[in-house]
Amino acid sequence: MHLLGSYYVSQPAFAHMREAGYGRLVMTTSAAGLYGNFGQVNYSAAKLGLVGMAKSVAQEGAKYGIKSNAIAPVALSRMTEGLMSGAMAKAFLPEAIAPVVAYLAHEDCALTGEVLSAYGGHVGRCLCR
């Protein structure tokens, strides 16, 4: 689901964006994909695959005005709710990630082929080459 789900949505979207001469794709990866995580080999592999897909789409889309990036969020979710509590949990609400995704999807965003990490009010560029 993590890799193929994004592929099956992105492929037809790319065709429409190519015709329009404009588009923005934002893939969601994770720290498990970027750095690995014990017990999550399949999840980690799929999430790193999304980085490769985002970077390849960025290259293929450049001549059509299509930009593609990935975000690696750390946020309170069903998957992480038992790991954070109190003030820490409040700092990692998904609402802190949404503005970064909105920026990457915005027409004024010049970034393409990038991976941004976002968590607790911080945003950083991941060096994935």
Residue 64 designated active-site: no
* Residue of 7, 43, 64, 103 with catalytic role: 43
Distances (CA, A) of 1 to 5, 43, 62, 74: 5, 10, 27, 20
Counting beta carbons within 10 angstroms of the beta carbon of residue 118, is it exposed (0 to 12), middle (13 to 18) or buried (19 or more)?
A: buried
Determine the distance from the C-alpha atom of residue 57 to the mean position of all C-alpha atoms in its chain, rounded to a whole number.
13
Catalytic center residues: 43
